[in-house]
């Protein structure tokens, strides 16, 4: 921000604001999802949301909304509102965003639905995520999400969803398979954890 985006040419301003938003989203997601610092994550996600609006980035907006959904549910216990935000993220991601973002946002929404015990709708979101991941990737839209998301991580979401739905034995099998897909760095089984 010290580079003064407002004083730059439109092209440079767009780039600076976009990078600022992506960095803010990363900081917010790291604080909330990785460290559990939910309140501290809020201002970063606010900044990322402003950057998404200023740059017209549906990609960044979808990521921020999905992260806010997680924050609302896990940080504040506002599961119904968190679902509404996750569904909004799905709506936003239906536009011009990278397929990986669309798939991740659908998986986040499935998690919110599982928390609320809505298994059929949860399964619909998981299926939508799997369908997007299996489709050809659009090379014109860059991936701006946080970390990586693929079929193995989707399996982990599914296992978590099954656990939230009280289907623990089935969840353990799905999670074990997902852990096996991550390779030797994830030793142990879901049943042991």
| Cα diameter, the chain | 58
Q: Block means of pLDDT (10 residues each) for the chain, length 193 residues?
A: 67 83 92 91 95 92 94 94 97 88 95 97 97 76 72 95 96 92 56 39
Whether 161 maps to a domain, the answer reads no
What CA–CA distance (Å, rounded) separates 193 from 186?
A: 11
What CA–CA distance (Å, rounded) separates 135 from 120?
A: 23
Whether 164 maps to a domain, the answer reads no
Whether 181 maps to a domain, the answer reads no
Number of domains in the chain: 1
Whether 49 maps to a domain, the answer reads yes
pLDDT of res. 192 = 39
The CATH number linked to 81 is 1.25.40.10
Q: Name which of 44, 1, 2, 42 is nearest 26 in CA terms.
A: 44
Whether 90 maps to a domain, the answer reads yes
**pTM, to two decimals:** 0.86
Q: Which domain holds residue 101?
A: 5-149
Whether 168 maps to a domain, the answer reads no
Whether 176 maps to a domain, the answer reads no
Whether 192 maps to a domain, the answer reads no
In sequence order, what DSSP letters do the residues of 125-177 get, joined into one string?
Answer: HHHHHHHHHHSPP-TTS---SSS---HHHHHHHHHHHHHHTT-HHHHHHHHHH
pLDDT of res. 175 = 93
């Amino acid at each position: 921000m010290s580079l003064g985006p407002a004083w730059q040419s439109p092209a440079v301003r767009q780039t600076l604001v976009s990078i600022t938003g992506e960095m803010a989203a990363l900081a917010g997601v790291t604080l909330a999802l990785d460290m559990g610092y939910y309140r501290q994550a809020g201002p970063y996600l606010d900044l990322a949301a402003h950057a998404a609006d200023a740059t017209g980035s549906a990609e960044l907006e979808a990521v921020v909304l999905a992260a806010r959904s997680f924050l609302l549910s896990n940080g504040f216990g506002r599961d119904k509102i968190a679902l509404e935000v996750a569904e909004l993220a799905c709506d936003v991601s239906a536009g011009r965003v990278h397929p990986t973002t669309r798939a991740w946002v659908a998986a986040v929404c499935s998690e919110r639905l599982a928390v609320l015990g809505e298994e059929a709708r949860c399964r619909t979101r998981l299926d939508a995520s799997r369908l997007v991941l299996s489709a050809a990737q659009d090379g014109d839209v860059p991936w701006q999400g946080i970390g990586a998301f693929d079929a193995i991580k989707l399996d982990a979401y599914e296992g978590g969803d099954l656990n939230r739905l009280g289907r623990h034995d089935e969840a353990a099998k799905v999670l074990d398979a997902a852990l096996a897909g991550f390779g030797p760095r994830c030793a142990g089984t879901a049943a042991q954890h």
